[in-house]
Amino acid sequence: MSLRIDYTQTQREIYRSMAGVGRAIRDTGLEESLIELVDIRASQINGCAYCLSLHIPRALQLGITQEQINLVSAWHECGDLFTPRQQAALAWTEHNTRIADAGHDDAAWEAVTAEFTEDEAMALTWAVAAINTWNRIAVPMRRPIAREQVPVAAGAS
């Protein structure tokens, strides 16, 4: 499979703006390890191998365990392997990534705000939206997996 269009080189202003969204999300104070878990879970759901190839190594560097990465797709079944805050973030990620399937309800919001302040919940929502956008660019453009970990723009996928 070969890259259709290198979106890092075309329409550069949009790419730079998306990278800026990622930086802004990280500047909110949400734990970077939590953002990486969100990125991994959404990328699993969306089948984005490229984003997984970036975010798994970053998550490991930030202290997410290999066991958590191995089991993140089954986090519901893992007892206390994930903290309540991580579980709330993963549930919110799944809910918003699959929004077309389930719609939205107050119970989902109440669950996330039980662990996050409203400001943090909004930052988390932006994080979910951003990774879903990156997935929706990388997958149709057939971005190949990152075999060598090279630094990329903060927040870029």
Each residue's pLDDT tens digit, 38-64:
999 999 999 999 999 999 999 999 999
DSSP state of 145: P
Query: Which pTM value belongs to this model?
Result: 0.91
**Number of alpha carbons in the 13 Å side-chain half-sphere of residue 30:** 30
> Binning pLDDT at 50, 70 and 90, where does residue 157 land?
low
Is 147 exposed, middle or buried, given 0-12, 13-18 or 19+ CB atoms closer than 10 A?
Answer: exposed
The confidence score (pLDDT) of residue 150 equals 43
Percentage of the residues of the chain whose pLDDT score is greater than 70: 94
> Binning pLDDT at 50, 70 and 90, where does residue 152 land?
very low
Domains within the chain, CATH numbers bracketed: 14-138 (1.20.1290.10)
